[in-house]
Structure formats: C-alpha cells, structure tokens
Amino acid sequence: MLYHYNKYGVLPVTTNSLAKPFLVVLLCCLIIRSAALAQGPIQAVPGASGNSLDPNPNQRAPYPRLVRILHGEQRDGIVASVSPGVFYESRDDGRTFQEIGAIPSVEGITPKCCGTLFEAPRQVGSLSEGTLLYAGSYCGGSDGKTASIEIFASIDDGRTWTHHSTPVQRGSCVSAENDGLWEPEFEVDEEGALVMFWSDETDPCCSQKLAQMRSLDGTTWGDEQNTVASKVRTDRPGMATVSRLPSGIYFMSYELCGPAACTVFYRTSYDGWTFGVPSDTGQKIQTLSGEFFEHAPTNRWDAGFHQGEGALLLVGQYLMTSGGANAPNTGRVLFVNTSRDASGEWKAIPAPVHVDMTPYLGKANYNNCANYSSALLPVERGSALLELATAPSSLSTCGAYYDKELLGER
C-alpha cells in the first residue's frame, strides 16, 4: 500500500483534523497554556486519553520512543524521544516529563522521519555502555534528496548529542519516488555487535524489504544483508522492532504491507543476527479468536508482568477481527504473550493510552498519526506499563500522549 508511506514531512490534513473556528482554537490554546503553567502532567486533548508529552500544542511528535536509563548518573530515569529528535526526561517513573535536549542541525543533511532511541546495554568497541543512540531517516547528498540513515550519540542521557555515523546512504528521500530508507531500529546480538535494522525501498528486487547491518567496533558498519525480502514483489515488510527474551531468543515483529494489508508478522533468531531465510515472510500474530493487528507494531519484554514471570507485549495501530473488519476496541488494547520464547498464546489486554480510531477507519480515512508506532515501557518495578502513543490534536498536529496501566496479576 503506497499510501502507507505518505507519512514523511508534514502530515496530511484530513477533514477530521481541520482547524476549528478562531474562538474555539483560542480557547483551546488558553486552556493548554494554563495547564503548562500548572504543576503535574498536561492533560491530553480529545482523541487520546492520558497526558500530553509537550505543552506546546504545535509540537509534532511522531514515532515516540521510551528508554529506561540503566547506566550513569541518571540511572533508573526514563528518556522519551519523538521525531525529528526531541528528548524528554522523567525522574518520577513516568508521571511527568520535561524537555531536556534535541538533535542539533548538521550541515548537509535534514531530518525526514522515523526516529528511534536506544541505550547501549554493554560496551561495543569504542561505544560505551549506557550511550544513547538516536537514528532517523534523513535527506542529503549534493542535491539534498539522497536518502540516508543518520545516527547520533549522547553520553549525558539525552541532553547533548553529536553525530555518530551514516551507516547507509542511497536512493531518494522524496516519498513519491518510493526509493527511500526508513525506520531504523537497534539491538545487540549474541556476539556483542550493534545491529541496525531498517526498511529499504532501494533494491529493485522488492517494493520494500527489511535489511540489516552491524558494527563490531561501535563506529563503522558492514555485513549488510536482507532480513525479510519477499519473492512477491508487491510485499512491503517494514517497521521491525526486536526484543531479546529470557530464553535467549530474539523476537522481531514487523508489518507486511502490500497484499497482506500491513498485517503484523514475526520471526525469531537464536543469535540476534540470523532470522532465517529472507524470502520467508514469517508468521502472523493473532489471538485464539483470530484478532490481529495491522500497521506500525512495536514490542517490548516486561520482566515484571504475570507475577514476575515476565511477558512479551505487542502493540499495533489497528485491531482487526478474524474476518478482517475493524474491531470495536481498536486503539484500546495490546497483546500479551506469557511464554518466555513467544511460542504461547497471544491475549488482548487494555492499553494504557486509548486512542479514538473512529474517524480513521477504512482506507479512505487512513491516518499515519493515530496510534502509530507506540512505545511501551515497564514502570513501578514491573507492576505497571507506561505507553507513549500519538494522535492528531485539535490543531492539526500529531501529538504524543502518555499514561500508565496497572498490570495486576494477569
């Protein structure tokens, strides 16, 4: 579905997000401004439950990410990021957030979309444990239109950033040319290499494929290879995220657009590098009743879930019924799998943030902000889950909203 990639640059304005009359907009701005000056979290505008990440009503905040700081002076704090590289910190376990930094401008490249945030869990060559990495899709080259993935690093928990590397640069960042490099994500494999996955439109083999490369020294990149590259040219695997499970298995979720309509699939690896034959498009994730997600999945292992036994959590943009219709509770649920190797049953549980998807049902109303690529993070020593999700705001921007859900003894 090529329309799925109309998400770069300024988000499209739909009839559902047209500006309100002047007085209503003025009233909304005054309410939001008052909330920004008050203590505590800022309440969300209609369209999503929870609290607004940023008091600025014009702040665009797609591709939200959450990281628990496990090293350094700010250990046990939380850092949140949104594209194109703005960072927020919570020192009260996700109750409130304050802006702390931003990616600096770099001559010759401009941000496009699809940012991610990662903390190095161990030393990788010259890259120290605890280093934060931010990566996203950029435009550059002599014409300013060449696509690239750019990586930035922070050694002070997101306050200041320096350019780290450009692992891949080719194709075009003009969305309409469908020749781009999108949606980078990181993990560290069993050999201790830093691995980057991304969605790649530049190979004539495929409308889009998932690719990967790694760095053994923490600085330079190599060993590029395909992760998922279907023999069906119209297939578009993308938006991979990877979690290492207690069993040692690496679990990768991703969307499969094209004929599969962006249904969420998964693959696994024993070493974090080899995920099987690239032409294998994986297995569909679904509950026993046949419900499944379409579009923009992310996953996260929660060690405190299920009375401390842990569980794998998965979120997607749209929840679908077994018959392929939009489920009534779409935008309001997550999936959970309590097996330590992801082989068990998937069940639906309430999501911390509820996003109203009613205006965006059906292809004609598709929206690439609402409940899109949400972030999950265990909080309160695993007894609760923090979600950072996005939704169109009343001012035609894409805002980020956060909230917690107690997990109990599920």
DSSP-based three-state secondary structure for 26:
helix
- Using pLDDT thresholds of 50, 70 and 90, give the confidence band for residue 20: very low
What would the two tokens of residue 78 be?
Answer: 């939380």
Nearest to 397 by CA among 3, 38, 44: 44
Strands annotated E in 258-394: 263-269, 283-284, 292-294, 298-302, 311-315, 318-320, 333-337, 346-350, 375-379, 384-392
Residue 19 pLDDT exceeds 70: no
Average pLDDT, the chain: 89
Specify the pLDDT at position 257: 98
321-366 per-position pLDDT tens digit: 999 999 999 999 999 999 999 999 999 999 999 999 999 999 899 9
User: How many distinct helices (H) and strands (E) make up the chain?
Assistant: 1, 27
Nearest to 59 by CA among 35, 92, 83: 83
267-313 per-position pLDDT tens digit: 999 999 999 999 999 999 999 999 999 999 999 999 888 777 899 99
CA atoms within 13 A on the CB side of 36: 13
Specify the pLDDT at position 28: 41
**Separation between Cα atoms, residue 285 and residue 294, nearest integer Å:** 10
The label of the residue with tokens 């505008």 reads 45
- Using pLDDT thresholds of 50, 70 and 90, give the confidence band for residue 157: very high
DSSP-based three-state secondary structure for 134:
strand
Determine contact, residues 386/402, Cβ cutoff 8 Å: yes
Residue 26 pLDDT exceeds 80: no
Nearest to 50 by CA among 74, 30, 80: 80
Among 103-107, 141-145, 191-195, 198-202, the minimum mean pLDDT is found in 141-145
Which CATH number describes the domain made up of 2-406? 2.120.10.10
Specify the pLDDT at position 308: 79
DSSP-based three-state secondary structure for 9:
coil
- Using pLDDT thresholds of 50, 70 and 90, give the confidence band for residue 233: very high
Q: pTM for this structure?
A: 0.88
- Using pLDDT thresholds of 50, 70 and 90, give the confidence band for residue 57: low
Q: How many residues does the chain have?
A: 410
Residue 46 pLDDT exceeds 80: no
Domain parsing of the chain, residue ranges? 2-406
81-102 per-position pLDDT tens digit: 999 999 999 999 999 999 999 9
- Using pLDDT thresholds of 50, 70 and 90, give the confidence band for residue 47: confident
What is the mean predicted confidence (pLDDT) over 184-208?
98
Residue 178 pLDDT exceeds 50: yes
What is the mean predicted confidence (pLDDT) over 40-58?
72
Burial 267-306 (b: 16+ CB within 10 A, else e): bbbeebbebeebeebbeebbbeeebbbbbbbbbbbbebbb
Among 10-24, 30-44, 158-172, 335-349, the minimum mean pLDDT is found in 10-24
**Separation between Cα atoms, residue 321 and residue 288, nearest integer Å:** 11
Residue 370 pLDDT exceeds 90: yes
Determine contact, residues 225/212, Cβ cutoff 8 Å: yes
Specify the pLDDT at position 394: 65
CA atoms within 13 A on the CB side of 228: 28
Measured over all CA atoms, what is the biggest interatomic distance in the chain, rounded to whole angstroms? Answer: 60
